[in-house]
């Protein structure tokens, strides 16, 4: 079968294609027409969506393409089901794009898989297997499963996941290229891995539950970012902690009014079983803090409030460390990924009060009330070092699209993997 080529042009399409047409076709493929010689990534994305609608088996990018133009095309052209292949333009960016695209495909596939196929144990194992393929003997890992979580004191992951017949899991993975088991840990990545979120007894509507296979998007994103950093040749010791569970209803599920006592002594009243992500992340953040790493990044599809604030275009960035926040935003800017800072101050830790515990896990009102994303971040701040130094919390509002847009296909986006990988390389 002849290859389908896609090229860029800064000339207008021929008259038969219509005024201001962004796309025209030739005997061998298509031409994307750009208004000027700026990157025009949005126009490329829209053209890529139209080309994807042709259900092509693959395309070859020909002619002059900038790296970010090719990446914009790939983000938009790669559909969730049976994605077409992409042959990159023949320039110096090919190898880099291939590395980044492999991480994107892994991340998207993990998020787009059905909740039946992706149990908590399966999520943890697939993440570990992929990273071992990339890092070989530099990667070791352990998994704490089911009742062993409760025995070890990881009460958040255990209680959120105990309502399911498929046990919850904490994955602790160590990428150590130094060969020295005593080498300091340079960074820890923590991911929310809720493989399906019914809301528990605070049950979601059917429509609200439909896309909840994506609630492990944080785990997928940090795994994809670490895999990308490994293929880029990073020489830092990095740990990955995935907090994996299904939030389901049963006679063994956790309930509203329960009080959980965490390993650091913090007691938490459950006032909303659908505010479960912060409960599992608390365990991961305590484990990360125990390593003494100077950088901790957690990522989660955590709050609807972040989506209200940012739409599905940006990831929210929270930190009480001005330096860490600035470096995270700089890494995102360098990678052309949209991250945006949202407020987090020490008082946010007190915004979910409880008469029965040190804090509640939310506020007993729809969506957790005003400032819900900041209040969730404030809850998490109880489980890192007191001043939050070196800690960055990412609320991944742009991780998933429940329906296609003119620029993006339905499903997982994998946005953020490049910025997090760069942060791992550059943080100081």
3-state secondary structure of 150: helix
Q: What residues make up the domain containing 19?
A: 5-91
Mean pLDDT value of segment 65-82: 97
Task: Write down which residue in 41, 68, 91 finishes a domain.
Answer: 91
Asked, for residue 199, whether it belongs to a domain, the answer is yes
Mean pLDDT value of segment 100-113: 98
pLDDT of residue 2: 62
Distance CA 424, CA 403 (A): 32
Q: What is the CATH number of the domain that holds 87?
A: 3.40.50
377's enclosing H/E stretch is helix 372-380
230 plus 323 within the same structural domain = yes
Q: What is the DSSP string of 186-208?
A: -EEEEEEEEEEE--TTSPPPHHH
Count of structural domains, the chain? 2
CB environment 90-126: b (16+ within 10 A), e (fewer): eeebeeebebbbbbbebbbbbbbbebeebbbbbbbbb
Mean pLDDT value of segment 121-133: 98
**For residue 178, pLDDT beyond 60:** yes
Asked, for residue 189, whether it belongs to a domain, the answer is yes
- Strand 5-9 versus strand 58-61 pairing type: parallel
21 plus 130 within the same structural domain = no
Q: Which residues contact 275 (CB under 8 A, 6 or more apart)?
A: 202, 361, 362, 368, 376
Asked, for residue 228, whether it belongs to a domain, the answer is yes
Task: Write down which residue in 91, 122, 143 finishes a domain.
Answer: 91
Query: Where does the pLDDT of residue 36 fall: very low under 50, low under 70, confident under 90, or very high at 90 and above?
Result: confident
Distance CA 72, CA 76 (A): 6
- CA geometry: angle 249, 254, 260, nearest 5 deg: 160
Mean pLDDT, the chain, whole residue set: 97
pLDDT more than 70, % of the chain: 100
293 plus 336 within the same structural domain = yes
Q: How many whole angstroms from its chain centre is CA 5?
A: 32
Task: Write down which residue in 91, 118, 147 finishes a domain.
Answer: 91
322 plus 189 within the same structural domain = yes
Asked whether 172 and 141 are in contact (CB, 8 A), the reply is yes
Q: What is the DSSP string of 300-344?
A: E---HHHHHHHTTT-EEEE-S-HHHHHHHHHHHHHTT--EEE---
Q: What share of the chain is helix, strand, coil (3-state, %, to 5)?
A: 40, 20, 40
24 plus 117 within the same structural domain = no
Asked, for residue 99, whether it belongs to a domain, the answer is no
Asked, for residue 421, whether it belongs to a domain, the answer is yes
20 plus 137 within the same structural domain = no
262 plus 334 within the same structural domain = yes
How crowded is residue 363: how many other Cβ atoms within 10 Å of its Cβ? 20
Question: What's the full length of the chain, in residues?
Answer: 428
pLDDT more than 90, % of the chain: 95
Asked, for residue 98, whether it belongs to a domain, the answer is no
Asked whether 274 and 199 are in contact (CB, 8 A), the reply is yes
13 plus 120 within the same structural domain = no
294 plus 396 within the same structural domain = yes
**For residue 1, pLDDT beyond 60:** no
Asked whether 75 and 41 are in contact (CB, 8 A), the reply is no
Mean pLDDT value of segment 246-251: 98
84 plus 162 within the same structural domain = no
Asked whether 221 and 228 are in contact (CB, 8 A), the reply is no
Burial of 21 (0-12, 13-18, 19+ CB in 10 A): middle
pLDDT of residue 37: 81
41 plus 156 within the same structural domain = no
87 plus 164 within the same structural domain = no
* Catalytic residue ranges: 204, 278
Strands, sheet with 139-145, edge to edge from the N-terminal-most edge strand: 139-145, 169-175, 238-247, 187-197, 296-300, 391-395, 315-318, 339-341
Query: Where does the pLDDT of residue 350 fall: very low under 50, low under 70, confident under 90, or very high at 90 and above?
Result: very high
Mean pLDDT value of segment 402-413: 97
Residue by residue, what is the 3-state secondary structure of 23-59? EEECCCEEEEECCCCCCCHHHHHHHHHHHHCCCCCEE
**For residue 310, pLDDT beyond 60:** yes
Tokens 């709050």 belong to residue: 303
């Amino acid at each position: 079968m002849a290859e389908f080529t896609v090229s860029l042009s800064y000339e207008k399409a021929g008259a038969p294609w219509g005024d201001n047409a962004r796309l025209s076709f030739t005997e061998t493929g298509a031409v994307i027409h750009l208004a000027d010689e700026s990157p025009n990534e949005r126009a490329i994305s829209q053209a890529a969506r139209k080309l994807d609608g042709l259900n092509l088996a693959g395309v070859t990018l020909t002619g002059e393409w900038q790296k970010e133009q090719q990446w914009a095309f790939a983000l938009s052209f790669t559909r969730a089901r049976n994605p077409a292949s992409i042959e990159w333009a023949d320039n110096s960016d090919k190898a880099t794009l291939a590395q980044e695209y492999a991480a994107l495909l892994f991340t998207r596939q993990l998020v787009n898989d059905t909740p039946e196929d992706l149990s908590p144990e399966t999520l943890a194992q697939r993440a570990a297997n992929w990273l071992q393929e990339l890092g070989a003997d530099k990667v070791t890992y352990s998994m704490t499963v089911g009742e062993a979580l409760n025995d070890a004191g990881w009460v958040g992951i255990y209680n959120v996941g105990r309502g399911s017949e498929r046990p919850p899991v904490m994955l602790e993975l160590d990428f150590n290229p130094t060969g020295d088991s005593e080498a300091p840990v340079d960074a820890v990545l923590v991911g929310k891995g809720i493989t399906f979120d019914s809301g528990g007894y605070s049950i979601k509507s059917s429509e609200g539950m439909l896309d909840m296979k994506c609630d492990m998007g944080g785990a997928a994103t940090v795994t994809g970012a670490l895999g990308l950093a490994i293929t880029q040749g990073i020489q830092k010791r990095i740990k990955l902690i995935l907090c994996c569970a299904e939030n389901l209803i049963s006679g063994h599920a956790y309930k509203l009014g329960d009080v959980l006592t965490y390993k650091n002594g913090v007691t938490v009243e459950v006032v909303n079983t659908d505010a479960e992500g912060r409960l599992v992340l608390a365990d991961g953040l305590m484990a990360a803090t125990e390593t003494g790493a100077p950088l901790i990044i957690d990522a989660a599809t955590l709050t609807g409030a972040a989506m209200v604030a940012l739409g599905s275009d940006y990831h929210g960035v929270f930190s009480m460390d001005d330096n860490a926040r600035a470096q995270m935003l700089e890494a995102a800017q360098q990678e052309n990924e949209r991250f945006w800072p949202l407020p987090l101050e020490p008082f946010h830790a007190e915004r979910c009060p409880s008469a029965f515990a040190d804090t509640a896990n939310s506020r007993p009102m729809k969506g957790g009330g005003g400032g819900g994303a900041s209040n969730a971040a404030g809850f998490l701040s109880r489980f890192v070092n007191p001043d939050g130094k070196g800690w960055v919390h990412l609320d991944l509002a742009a991780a998933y699209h429940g329906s296609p847009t003119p620029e993006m296909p339905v499903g997982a986006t994998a946005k953020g993997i490049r910025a997090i990988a760069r942060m791992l390389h550059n943080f100081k």
